[in-house]
Structure 1
Amino acid sequence: MSYDNLLIVLAVAAGVPFLLAMVPRLPVPGAVLEIVAGVVLGPAVLNVVTVDAAVQSLSIIGLGFLLFLAGLEIDIRQLRGPRARLVGLGLVGTLALAAIVGLLLRVAGLAESPLLVGTALVATSLGLLVPILKDVGAIDRPVGQLTIGGASAGEISAVVLLSLFFSEHSSGPGAKLLLLLSLAGLAMLIVLASMRAGRSMWLSRAVEMLADTSAQVRVRLTMLLVVGLSAMALHLGFEAILGAFIAGAVLRLIDPDAEQTHPQFHLKLEGLGYGFLVPVFFVTSGIQFDLGALFSDAETVLRVPMFLAALLLVRGLPALAYRSAGLSRAEVMASGLLQATSLPVIVAAATIGLKLDAIRPENAAALVAAGLLSVVVFPLLALRLLGRSTVQTGRRPMSSPGGGR
């Protein structure tokens, strides 16, 4: 096994944060630069790096860990209570619009699988939204809670739909649904068993004692959970990313206040993910990005703004339902823009679709390019609107160290 290509990928991952630090006004999330760097260094442009076995293996693990961290961001408490009805109404609108847009694209000959394209349009980059909302002091305001709730619902729906209908292991939808319920049941058993084990004084003391030693027992147990549920998802005929995503949600259910009670734990997980595995996935996605297919003709290039508009329609328009919660017009618009910000699930959907011949390379490239633009353009517009809303309501924005993930 050669480490040459992996060395270049890791050099890109290490260099991107320095570039962002040198140009602090550059309004581009690190993930976008990592993908762009992969495109430039890959076969499409300079051809100095390729995807070999080492890079491919770590990229697959990185995608799983990215979905795990996304699941970890989901707070089930945001999906219940008085705002749950609005979140549910927004999700129904999103799913309906995704189905309509997918079918229209199919009729126009721009999508081979309307279900795949519709599923890709449903998700939101939850990991990017949380730090943005913290930065402007909106995380605890109704606009922040509704946006996070809507983003969580969209992320869950997209991952489940992707796993149900686009797994390499074929079986009927009815059987898949039954297996999915089995996986959900297993996840709940793990939650209940973990909560019961947490009541053991001896076990709690042992975990506390070993958590910050070389044993790093919390991290080891977490990796056991991620790999275990990923393996179970594969055995049941789903993509491993579904198991990884569920692992994140399970861990959040088991320990919902971990960021306050033992904050170092989440920092360690983010260090492993965002410091190592996730950048490998994004750089590898750039290396595999089919730039030639994107610029093969003018029609393909024009699909990028079309897919971007579809994202805004499918994820942004349902935010109008939040107006009844007392949100201002600026807050509703900002929420819609943030919910239309999506990249990881789009990249995952395009990757899986290409493997299954469910999407043509040019459409996959245009879809990913639209996702890249969404994480650059939409948050910037939303920040301006939220800043205006903060001034109008007399609230002062809080300072936060959050950054774009």
Structure 2
Amino acid sequence: MTGVGLGNLLVVVAVGFAVPFVLGLAPRLRLPAVVLEIVAGILIGPSVLGWAAVDDPVRVMAVLGLAFLLFLSGLEIELDRLRGRVLALAAGGFAASVGIALVVATGLYAVDLSGSPVFVAIVLTATSLGIVVPVLKDAGAISTPFGQLVVAAGSIADFGAIILLSLLFSREGGGFGSRAAVLLAFAVLAVAVGGAVLAAERLPSLSAALVRLQDTTAQIRVRGAFLLLVALAALAESLGLETILGAFVAGLLISALDRDEVMTHPEFRLKLEAVGFGVFVPVFFVSSGMRFDLDALTAGGRPLALVPIFLVALALARGLPALLYRRELGPRRAVVAGLLQATSLPFIVAATQIGTEIGAIDAATAAALVGAGIVSVLLFPAAALVVLGRQPAYAGSTVSGASTGASREARGSQ
């Protein structure tokens, strides 16, 4: 272990512990922990105090944190909800988002305010399910047709944004046709893996062994989930796709296969949340703050002025399509749906890191996009609850920390 120091990781982990703990001591401070984790990362990082840097241990933990974040986001998607009228409305809303985002991003590019218009458009089309689900749960709306439509729309937006990012932009390069073929190959292999897992679980001897070992020190289901996560992320990477796609699909597969959670392993998802949100995910967000280029954002008026511009772009790209829901939900709830759909941060953080690496956007644009995402998390859910006549009740949650539990409770109430 010579040459590997844990001092920087200690600072990062301490911040990851301190942020939700402080929020827990001040329950009236109604902020999602992810926002303060990123802000704290900026403060302790090279841009401000210089207390810690992103070295190899922090970098490895952050990569696993991003993988777990996307894995748990995939776990949120309930395929049973994506059908019929709900699926048609959610898909139509996402298609409208892509169109609006392309128009907005092209306009910004034409006046030299952003980088690649296609890349920026993709960044603007995602929704932060991890914030949206707890807000709907706290408002008592998660199991209503309104809540189901919003969650379905957010699920399609997250999945669609990741697919588009993997299809159109990659660190490995290559043309559209080759990427499409690779993406299809990955999908076939992922389905094959899912089929193999399902077949194995149906074998009585293997199923009995899983039940026997799931709550021992083996924690066999958690190890199996981690194996699937790493395997699909590594497969995506080996095919030249983004690892976040593999992580997301791993969560989606487990969500589709884990149909008997109440019967055989009621704490399985809770254990996965404990590993992800308790260990790895905070490191990703704190280190993202440490990587945040504050100098690029504050150098001159242009980058800082982009924050409200991108915030409006988010509202247009994800909020306006909610008008499609007016007949189904009524005007007021359509406005609420639009505000919640326009709440986005984790995908923005992940995508902008990729975008700067491949040269699709510069550091100033990336910082402005992340800044707009932070403001969206602070403003849009609170505004949505005001329109609903509720008080914000998601303080102290991480970006997705409460969401899987909320979804699970909602499934039980249904």
Given the two structures, how large is their TM-score scaled by the length of structure 1? 0.94
Structure 1 match to 2:169: 166
Provide the secondary structure at the position in 2 that maps to 1:83.
helix
Distance (whole Å) between structure 2 residues aligned to residue 341 and residue 261 of structure 1: 35
**Divergent runs of 4+, >6 A:** 399-402
Distance (whole Å) between structure 2 residues aligned to residue 126 and residue 260 of structure 1: 27
Aligned 8 A contact 1:134 1:402 in 2: no
User: Among residues 366, 369, 387, which one is paired with 2:368 in the alignment?
Assistant: 366
User: Among residues 308, 332, 337, which one is paired with 1:335 in the alignment?
Assistant: 337
Aligned 8 A contact 1:75 1:256 in 2: no
Structure 1 match to 2:383: 381
Opposite residue 134 of structure 1, the aligned amino acid is K
Structure 2 match to 1:394: none
Opposite residue 361 of structure 1, the aligned amino acid is A
C-alpha offsets along residues 246-293 of structure 1, whole Å, 9 cap, x if unaligned? 101011111145367633111111111111111000000000101111
Q: Which stretch of the first structure deviates more once superposed, 250-259 or 223-232?
A: 250-259
Gaps of 5+ in 1: 391-396
Distance (whole Å) between structure 1 residues aligned to residue 40 and residue 114 of structure 2: 28
Matches within 5 A, 1:83-98: 83-98=86-101
Aligned 8 A contact 2:15 2:40 in 1: yes
Structure 1 match to 2:37: 34
Distance (whole Å) between structure 2 residues aligned to residue 302 and residue 65 of structure 1: 33
Residue 193 of structure 1 deviates from its aligned partner by: 2.1
Distance (whole Å) between structure 1 residues aligned to residue 154 and residue 259 of structure 2: 18
Identity %: 48
Aligned 8 A contact 1:68 1:245 in 2: yes
Residue 330 of structure 1 deviates from its aligned partner by: 2.0
Aligned 8 A contact 2:27 2:395 in 1: no
Opposite residue 295 of structure 2, the aligned amino acid is G
User: Among residues 95, 113, 122, which one is paired with 1:110 in the alignment?
Assistant: 113
C-alpha offsets along residues 348-397 of structure 1, whole Å, 9 cap, x if unaligned? 11101111121111111111000001111111111122336x9xxxxxx9
Distance (whole Å) between structure 2 residues aligned to residue 315 and residue 237 of structure 1: 29
Distance (whole Å) between structure 2 residues aligned to residue 83 and residue 39 of structure 1: 40
Aligned 8 A contact 1:135 1:402 in 2: no
Structure 2 match to 1:348: 350
Residue 116 of structure 1 deviates from its aligned partner by: 1.2
Q: CA RMSD in A?
A: 1.8
Matches within 5 A, 1:242-253: 242-253=245-256
User: Residue 257 and residue 295 in structure 1: after superposition, are their counterparts in 2 closer, same or farther (change >3 A)?
Assistant: farther
User: Among residues 56, 66, 69, which one is paired with 2:69 in the alignment?
Assistant: 66
Given the two structures, how large is their TM-score scaled by the length of structure 2? 0.92
Distance (whole Å) between structure 2 residues aligned to residue 304 and residue 204 of structure 1: 52
Work out whether 1:50 is the aligned partner of 2:53.
Answer: yes
Aligned 8 A contact 2:134 2:394 in 1: yes
Matches within 5 A, 1:6-405: 6-256=9-259, 258=261, 262-325=265-328, 327-387=329-389, 403-405=397-399
Q: Which stretch of the first structure deviates more once superposed, 259-268 or 75-84?
A: 259-268
User: Residue 322 and residue 316 in structure 1: after superposition, are their counterparts in 2 closer, same or farther (change >3 A)?
Assistant: same
C-alpha offsets along residues 160-214 of structure 1, whole Å, 9 cap, x if unaligned? 1111222111111111111111111112122222222222222211111110100
User: Residue 357 and residue 192 in structure 1: after superposition, are their counterparts in 2 closer, same or farther (change >3 A)?
Assistant: same
